[in-house]
Amino acid sequence: MEINQNEITGELTVVFLGHVDHGKSTLIGRLLYDTKQVTSDKIEFATARSQEQGRLLEFAYLLDGLEEEQEQGITIDFTQTRFATAKRQFILADAPGHREFLKNMMCGASRADAAILLIDATEGVQEQSRRHGYLLTLLGIKQLAVVVNKMDLVGWEQNVFQKIKADYEEFLASIGFSAQAYIPAAAFTGDNVAVKSRQLLWYPGKTVLEQLEAFRIKENTGIPLRIPVQDVYRFGQRRLLAGRLEGGLIALGDEIILWPTHEVTTVKAIERWPEANVHQAIQGENVALELSDPLFAERGMIIAKSEHPPLVSRSFTARIFWLGRQPLVPQQRYKLKIGFQETGVWIEQLTKVLDIGKLCEVATDTLPAGFVSEAILTSDQPLVFDTFHDNAELGRFVLIEEYQIVGGGIITAALTNKQTGEFRHDRGTDNLFPTAGFVTKTERRRCNGHTSQVFWLTGFSGSGKTTLARKVEEQLFHKKYQVYVLDGDNVRSGLNGDLGFSSSDRKENIRRIAEVAKLFVDAGIIVLVALISPYAADRDLARSRFEDGEFTEVYVKCPLEICEARDSKGLYKKARNHQLQKFTGISDMYEPPTKAEIVVETDKMPVEMCVKLLLQHL
Amino acid sequence: MTERLRNLEAESIYIIREAYAKFKKPSMLWSIGKDSTVLLWLARKAFLGNCPIPLVHIDTTFKIPEMIVHRDRLIQEWGLQLVIGKNETALATGMNPEQGRLACCTALKTEAFRQTVERHGFDAVLLGIRRDEEKSRSKERFFSVRNANFEWQYKEQAPEIWTQYNTDFPPGSHVRVHPLLSWTEIDVWEYIEQEKIPVTTLYFARDGKRYRSLGCWPCTTPIESQAMTVKDIVEELKNIGKSERAGRAQDKADTYAMQKLRAQGYM
């Protein structure tokens, strides 16, 4: 992709923030209207809706909205619209001002280059004026202009404006932030929006429109190469690492380091279909890289160059914000995502909790929504990152609870020598895991040239679990994979020889086999467990012992009648004759999996096809 | 390519790859219109000329015949996997727009879509919707969950912060993924021109009329136009002064009709 410098016009995203009813939507609507950037059917719609409510044209109705929003005259969720001046193109994002919709505000603001914060001249600085201003610093937005709106309602008085300006300047200074401009305006009448006001002649500065043009596009230059690996694709014999350049540039033949394994290799090919012969790629581009060596690679790893290595640690300090319905509780486990890395994390300590609506420190054990804190975090797995200051993209993270993003933060520093002593980052050397004899799972996998995981085959007796497991084992073994089958019957004759078939013994049987399988996975081996494992809860328990992606539940599905007809071990006959108690399918229940990653129907599919389905999942 | 298009393309490819990495069985809705065809093109870019995600076409049987011809041609040429979804029960009982546009859309689109998603066990569906199309779409997320009843709880949406999306979802729900959310109608056409993406000829003027938005023939009206090429279309749109879906009847049945349809699972 050639870059033609003449084509770069630049597009800037500006978010409009501030307290409820301070006029964010109206200001955007007015900008669109005065610069004639609304389609005629939208004006007709807004005019009709305003008239129905006995009002003059409500400029906010020119923005897209939900029925609830336009009925109640509020903004619930953010929306954005395109806007252009002679100089530049913009995306204007309208964010809600209600505290309860703060998560939507953050969603709309997080991708902005600059912000316009509105303050109502009749109300002055309010709780959300401060909260929104503060949160900009955590989102990494450095450009801010403040609009003191509704000047028409205070008789265009200069001293009202000066007072608000002084108040907000003081607030921003206290958090180490400042605004580029303070603009007195009236969105409803259009004064100082797109055209200079005739009422505010004492104000010599820019209109809102001129301020938009004065904002600069975020400069992301000078960031060292970072390619978080988003996925690994296979094309025949080729293996390609897909990812977007979050900094720097990469060229054919470049020496790169794969983190956290710290393996060194070079770039053999850069793929960017449909282009052929791609020699280099720059920041922001999505590529797929072929490496010169067949190193172990997976989603979450980071590609960097030797000059500027990232940080690696399980512990770091951060400034975090919280949006969850329930407050954040220290020592409770959440999921953290940084780049494509996902791991369990807990907050060791909230070191300084701030109510940013009032801007005061509060003594509290938990972090409520809308508050921020300085904190120390510890993760289950070592993470590869930068500080937010060095590289925003790899220096920020989100926190997830029950399937939803509920918070986030920016990393201020890596902590080394975590108390447990099990991991230390020794920057600049190869001694990433310095304890003698301490071999990690990742290293074992790399050595084996494949990942390690468990296939958990569940199904009736006679459904074909063992046959399938043995076939997969055979094929993988011949391909030089480290692989082993844990068969229910075999394990029961040894390790679990003390267990029977009661529900509690079945549970213990599964628990032990899951633990053994986990050891195999830690040892870098692919393990196939062939076990009736009839209860969903027990299988879930087994699953919970593994990390994401390590546990593949395989439902070996076959109707009971067919299993019984096969009866290769003569067990069904015995169960029917009451010679066997608690036999799954006859005198004990089987709960079919509802979330199995793979379902093989052994009465319908040839065994080769079943084998293939499992192999595809490697 | 302009910087804007380059940024949009990069964002879309990133999201498509993210969906493919995070979901077990994603699919992609292909209406044969310009937007979902651009989405398909972007998927081929994401996967280096391949599209490992199966396409789903919801056939209401009221689609303009040329769309079906175009569909089958690209399936052949690009080697795509296609799943056709139809609400056979509703069609058998003679559902058509005369029985009410919303009822017809619900039965032949939403319900057919729901049946297809359930039958194939898709846990994610990529769609080519854009924020600038209409009001309720402007409030969408890139990754947007639909609950087990196929409903969109638009007042309870989780935030997407920076480029982190919500990719974990409760069992029973499915996820709509919207890689084109930030694109506008003009962006789509400029990109089609730039990349030379094949689109159906229904978009080009014949006898002074062309389709600006494609749907079912009884409910879609062509606009007055002289635009014969993609370039003409871009020029026309810059001066048109009317919204894209002005020719789509279901939007007009009620002021917030699309919001209501979409809350119940419409695309």
Residues A298 and A316 in one domain: no
- For the residues B196-218, what does the mean pLDDT come to? 93
Q: Residue A319 sits in a domain of what CATH number?
A: 2.40.30.10
Question: Hey, is the C-beta of A79 within 8 angstroms of any chain B C-beta?
Answer: yes
Annotated active-site residue in A306, A463, A533, A544: A533
- Gap between the Cα atoms of A97 and A596, Å rounded: 43
- In chain A, which residue's Cα lies nearest the Cα of B136? A66
Residue A432 is predicted with a pLDDT of 35
Q: Give the confidence band of A247 by pLDDT, cuts at 50, 70, 90.
A: confident
B155 CB neighbours in chain A (<8 A) are 68, 76-77
Question: Hey, is the C-beta of A51 within 8 angstroms of any chain B C-beta?
Answer: no
Q: Give the confidence band of B253 by pLDDT, cuts at 50, 70, 90.
A: low
**C-beta separation of A597 from A554 below 8 A:** yes
Residues A244 and A352 in one domain: no
Domain that holds residue B43: 3-184+255-263
Q: Is the dihedral of CA A126, A129, A132, A137 positive or negative?
A: negative
- In chain A, which residue's Cα lies nearest the Cα of B134? A64
**Helix segments in chain B, DSSP class H:** 3-22, 34-46, 65-78, 88-92, 101-105, 112-120, 185-195, 230-238, 257-263
Q: Is the pLDDT of residue A223 over 90?
A: no
Residues B145 and B105 in one domain: yes
- Residue A486 tokens, joined: 């844990």
Q: For the ranges A47-61, A400-414, A580-594, which has the lowest average pLDDT?
A: A580-594
B99 lies in some domain: yes
Residue A321 is predicted with a pLDDT of 97
A582 lies in some domain: yes
Kind plus residue range of the DSSP H or E element containing B152? none
Tokens 């600069």 label which residue?
A216
- Gap between the Cα atoms of A508 and A513, Å rounded: 8
Residues A179 and A118 in one domain: yes
B167 lies in some domain: yes
Question: Hey, is the C-beta of A601 within 8 angstroms of any chain B C-beta?
Answer: no
Q: E-assigned strands of B88-241?
A: 124-126, 143-146, 174-177, 209-210, 223-224
- For the residues B111-140, what does the mean pLDDT come to? 93
Interchain contact, B4 vs A65, CB within 8 Å: no
- For the residues A54-72, what does the mean pLDDT come to? 86
**C-beta separation of A92 from A107 below 8 A:** no
Residues B118 and B212 in one domain: no
Domain that holds residue A277: 227-304
- Residue A359 tokens, joined: 């801007």
Residue A260: asked if its preceding bond is cis (omega within 30°), the reply is yes
The total number of structural domains in chain A stands at 4
Residue A576 is predicted with a pLDDT of 83
Residues A504 and A424 in one domain: no
**C-beta separation of A103 from A323 below 8 A:** yes
B213 lies in some domain: yes
Residue A580 is predicted with a pLDDT of 77
Interchain contact, A405 vs B169, CB within 8 Å: no
Q: Is the pLDDT of residue A233 over 90?
A: yes
Q: Residue B122 sits in a domain of what CATH number?
A: 3.40.50.620
End-to-end CA distance of chain A: 34
**Does the pTM exceed 0.90?**
no
Residues A83 and A197 in one domain: yes
Please give the interface size between A and B, counted as residue pairs whose CB atoms are below 8 Å apart. Answer: 144
Residues A464 and A422 in one domain: no
Q: Among A412, A435, A458, which residue terminates a domain?
A: A435
Residues A35 and A184 in one domain: yes
Residues B222 and B176 in one domain: no
Residue A617 is predicted with a pLDDT of 86
B191 lies in some domain: no
- For the residues A2-11, what does the mean pLDDT come to? 48
Residues B24 and B94 in one domain: yes
Residues A198 and A278 in one domain: no
ipTM of this complex prediction, to 2 decimal places: 0.95
Question: Mind listing the pLDDT tens digit for each residue in A267-301?
Answer: 999 999 999 999 999 999 999 999 999 888 899 99
CA proximity to A379, closest of A345, A341, A423, A414: A345
Interchain contact, B157 vs A400, CB within 8 Å: no
Q: How far is CA A42 from CA A38, A39, A222, A378, B24, in A?
A: 7, 5, 44, 51, 41
Residue A161 is predicted with a pLDDT of 98
Q: Give the confidence band of A488 by pLDDT, cuts at 50, 70, 90.
A: confident
Q: How far is CA B121 from CA A5, A596, B30, in A?
A: 47, 12, 17
Interchain contact, B132 vs A242, CB within 8 Å: no
**Helix segments in A58-101, DSSP class H:** 67-72
Question: Hey, is the C-beta of A76 within 8 angstroms of any chain B C-beta?
Answer: yes
- In chain B, which residue's Cα lies nearest the Cα of A300? B21
Question: Mind listing the pLDDT tens digit for each residue in B227-246?
Answer: 999 999 999 998 887 777 77
A219 lies in some domain: no
Residues B117 and B219 in one domain: no
Per this entry, what is the length of chain B? 267
The total number of structural domains in chain B stands at 2
Q: How far is CA A224 from CA A141, A241, A242, A250, A309, in A?
A: 21, 19, 18, 10, 9
CA proximity to A146, closest of A167, A176, A175: A167
Interchain contact, A286 vs B134, CB within 8 Å: no
What is the rounded radius of gyration, in angstroms, for the C-alpha atoms of chain A? 30
A343 lies in some domain: yes
Residues B24 and B79 in one domain: yes
Q: Among A264, A283, A304, which residue terminates a domain?
A: A304
- A400 CA to chain B: closest CA distance, Å? 9
- Residue A57 tokens, joined: 């044209």
Residue A420 is predicted with a pLDDT of 33
Question: Mind listing the pLDDT tens digit for each residue in B146-205?
Answer: 988 888 988 889 999 999 999 988 888 899 999 999 999 999 999 999 999 999 999 999
Residue A525 is predicted with a pLDDT of 94
Residues B218 and B90 in one domain: no
Residues B128 and B208 in one domain: no
- Gap between the Cα atoms of B121 and A596, Å rounded: 12
CA proximity to A208, closest of A53, A408, A29, A347: A29
CA proximity to A345, closest of A401, A274, A418: A401
Residues A347 and A477 in one domain: no
Q: Is the pLDDT of residue A421 over 50?
A: no
Residue A9 is predicted with a pLDDT of 57
Residue A434 is predicted with a pLDDT of 32
- In chain A, which residue's Cα lies nearest the Cα of B254? A67
B139 CB neighbours in chain A (<8 A) are 64-66, 77-79
Q: Is A533 a catalytic residue?
A: yes
Q: Residue A568 sits in a domain of what CATH number?
A: 3.40.50.300
Which of B17, B49, B166 lies closest to A231 in CB terms? B17
- For the residues A95-100, what does the mean pLDDT come to? 89
Question: Mind listing the pLDDT tens digit for each residue in A189-200?
Answer: 999 999 999 999
Q: For the ranges A9-23, A315-329, B116-130, which has the lowest average pLDDT?
A: A9-23
Residues B13 and B112 in one domain: yes
Residues B58 and B176 in one domain: yes
Question: Hey, is the C-beta of A323 within 8 angstroms of any chain B C-beta?
Answer: yes
Residues B235 and B154 in one domain: no
| Sequence-ordered list of residues with C-beta below 8 angstroms from that of B187, at least 6 positions apart, any chain | B4, B5, B8
Question: Mind listing the pLDDT tens digit for each residue in A429-479?
Answer: 333 333 334 677 888 888 888 999 999 999 999 999 999 999 999 999 999
Q: Is the pLDDT of residue A516 over 90?
A: yes
Residue B252 is predicted with a pLDDT of 66
Residues B178 and B203 in one domain: no
Q: For the ranges A124-128, A177-181, A381-385, which has the lowest average pLDDT?
A: A381-385
Q: Is the pLDDT of residue A41 over 50?
A: yes
